């Protein structure tokens, strides 16, 4: 069921001092906690819980832990361990008195992320943008120009190698068989460890032929265990669902070749991809490609999203721009000027940037006839704008809700329909 809402005030404890009385009120975490609207998270995440059952964990605690995790670039384990020791962490998460134990388990953070999904994480991102605007960290004019780029979010996996993957796959199957009482003809526990150790030693000594022999032996062990389990499951279908995922991954591992694409690099995280971003110090990275949108001047993060499948950078710009535009609309800001890195905008890019699909070619002169015609058409319908360096600029102080944006889009499309002869391109920069 829904988490219980924290009380507005807590009774005083005669034998304990409040955290607010012993910490520095000018500390950055104390000031940040005052800027965040914590009630917003109760409203946003409340529908994700059932109306009956065990009460959920405190929403502010989980939101606060995730914000601390990303602010200080910590893992779940480290941020949970530091929370017990740091009074500022506890005050940030809404506790009035010092706690000697963490009220949740570390794995609850993982399950909570799965519950809220990507949409819930965007709620946290929008809350940080609001806090930045309210606290003066970023000015509204800084949001006019946004830089979008892609990078790699590394996954916490060991560097993949054939020998380690074969050995790990065999261990997983043997552990599952022991857990469900499935007797194997041979587990190769001792022989597998010895073959893995020899493969590493031979590769270190540059004895590649001997290393290949040991890697092939590890692959043979994995194949034998896999086939033995399949034979045993043929007579016991009740256990088949418990082995289904592991056997699918093992079959994929055994079938892949050296130059295949979409290879399996980790058995516990099969979504991991191999990405090459041209870094001199790191030729290949294992994780997922992510798109990051930041303000061009101050580097304040406005948007971030995972891009599984390693898409081409130029094809990710529309999605990233859409996320930034939706965030700006939520804060009463209309549009943005997007420098393009990693690819050119496609024909639908204008629709993402709140201009519609009218685009004509960019004009180098403000006296261009079609540009002046569009300017006259919009001003005649009550739209306040200006022309600067061949670009129509809309004031976001005028357009402070989505209905005004839709009206402007409809007017621009009407102008497009009336002037459909010839190929034109129109670029909007909102400032």
Instruction: From 295, 321, 320, select the one nearest 306 (Cα to Cα).
Output: 320
- What CA–CA distances, in Å, run from 108 to 40, 57, 105, 114, 185? 21, 9, 5, 10, 39
CB-neighbour burial class of residue 1 (10 A; exposed 0-12, middle 13-18, buried 19+): exposed
SS3 at position 234: coil
pLDDT of residue 10: 65
Q: What is the pLDDT along the chain (431 residues), one digit of tens a residue?
A: 788 766 655 677 778 889 999 999 999 999 999 999 998 898 899 889 888 888 889 999 999 999 999 999 999 999 999 999 999 999 999 999 999 999 899 999 999 999 999 889 989 998 998 899 888 888 888 887 888 899 999 998 999 999 999 999 999 999 999 999 999 999 999 999 999 999 999 999 999 999 999 999 999 999 999 999 999 999 888 999 999 999 999 999 999 999 998 899 999 999 999 999 888 889 999 999 999 999 888 889 988 999 999 999 888 887 887 788 766 655 544 444 444 333 333 333 232 233 322 223 334 444 456 667 777 887 788 776 666 555 566 544 444 445 666 677 677 777 777 765 433 343 333 33
Cβ count within 10 A of residue 232: 16
SS3 at position 407: helix
Q: What angle do CA 410, 411, 413 make, to 5 degrees?
A: 65
Question: CA 132, CA 33: separation in Å to the nearest integer?
Answer: 12
Paired with 288 in beta bridges are 153
Question: CA 263, CA 265: separation in Å to the nearest integer?
Answer: 6
The residues spanned by each domain of the chain are 19-116, 138-155+272-342, 162-255, 355-418
Question: CA 187, CA 222: separation in Å to the nearest integer?
Answer: 9
Q: Which two tokens stand for residue 42?
A: 């109760």
CB 310 within 8 A of CB 273: yes
Q: Does pTM surpass 0.95?
A: no
Side-chain half-sphere CA neighbours of 311 within 13 A: 17
Paired with 399 in beta bridges are none
pLDDT of residue 6: 63
pLDDT of residue 14: 75
Dmax over CA atoms of the chain, in Å, equals 85
DSSP state at residue 287:
E
Question: CA 120, CA 129: separation in Å to the nearest integer?
Answer: 15
In this structure, what are the phi and psi dihedrals at residue 422, rounded to the nearest 5 degrees? 85, 160
CB 290 within 8 A of CB 305: yes
Give me the helices (H) in 9-106, please: 19-22, 28-35, 39-45, 59-71, 76-85, 87-92
DSSP state at residue 428:
B
């Amino acid at each position: 069921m829904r988490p219980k809402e924290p009380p507005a005030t807590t009774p005083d404890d005669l034998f304990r001092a409040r955290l607010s009385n012993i910490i520095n009120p000018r500390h950055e975490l104390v000031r940040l906690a005052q800027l965040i609207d914590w009630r917003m998270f109760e409203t946003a995440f409340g529908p994700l819980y059932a109306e009956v059952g065990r009460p959920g964990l405190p929403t502010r605690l989980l939101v606060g832990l995730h914000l601390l995790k990303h602010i200080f670039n910590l893992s779940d384990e480290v941020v949970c361990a530091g929370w017990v020791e740091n009074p500022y962490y506890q005050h940030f998460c809404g506790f009035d008195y010092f706690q000697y134990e963490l009220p949740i388990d570390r794995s609850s953070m993982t399950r909570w992320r799965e519950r809220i999904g990507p949409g819930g994480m965007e709620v946290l991102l929008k809350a940080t943008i609001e806090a930045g605007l309210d606290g003066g960290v970023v000015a509204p004019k800084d949001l006019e120009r946004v830089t979008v780029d892609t990078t790699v979010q590394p996954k916490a996996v060991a560097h993949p190698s054939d020998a380690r993957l074969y050995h790990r796959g065999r261990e997983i199957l043997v552990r599952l068989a022991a857990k469900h009482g499935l007797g194997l003809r041979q587990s190769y526990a001792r022989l597998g460890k010895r073959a893995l150790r020899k493969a590493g030693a031979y590769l270190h000594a540059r004895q590649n032929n001997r290393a290949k022999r040991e890697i092939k032996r590890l692959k043979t062990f994995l194949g034998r265990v896999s086939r033995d389990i399949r034979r045993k499951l043929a007579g016991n279908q009740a256990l088949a669902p418990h082995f289904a995922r592991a056997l699918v991954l093992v079959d994929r591992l055994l079938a892949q070749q050296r130059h295949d694409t979409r290879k399996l690099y980790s058995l516990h995280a099969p979504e991991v991809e191999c990405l090459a971003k041209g870094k001199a110090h790191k030729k290949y990275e294992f994780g997922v490609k992510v798109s990051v949108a930041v303000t061009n001047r101050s580097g304040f993060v406005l948007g971030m999203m995972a891009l599984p499948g390693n898409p081409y950078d130029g094809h990710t710009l529309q999605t990233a721009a859409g996320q930034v535009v939706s965030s700006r609309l939520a804060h009463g800001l209309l549009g943005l000027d997007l420098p393009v890195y990693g690819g050119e905008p496609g024909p639908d890019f204008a629709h993402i940037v709140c201009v519609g699909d009218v685009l004509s070619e960019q004009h180098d002169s403000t006296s261009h006839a079609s540009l002046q015609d569009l300017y006259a058409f919009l001003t005649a319908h009550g739209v306040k704008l200006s022309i600067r360096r061949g670009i129509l600029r809309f004031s976001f102080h005028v357009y402070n809700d989505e209905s005004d944006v839709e009206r402007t889009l409809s007017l621009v499309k009407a102008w497009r329909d009336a002037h459909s002869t010839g190929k034109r391109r129109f670029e909007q920069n909102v400032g």
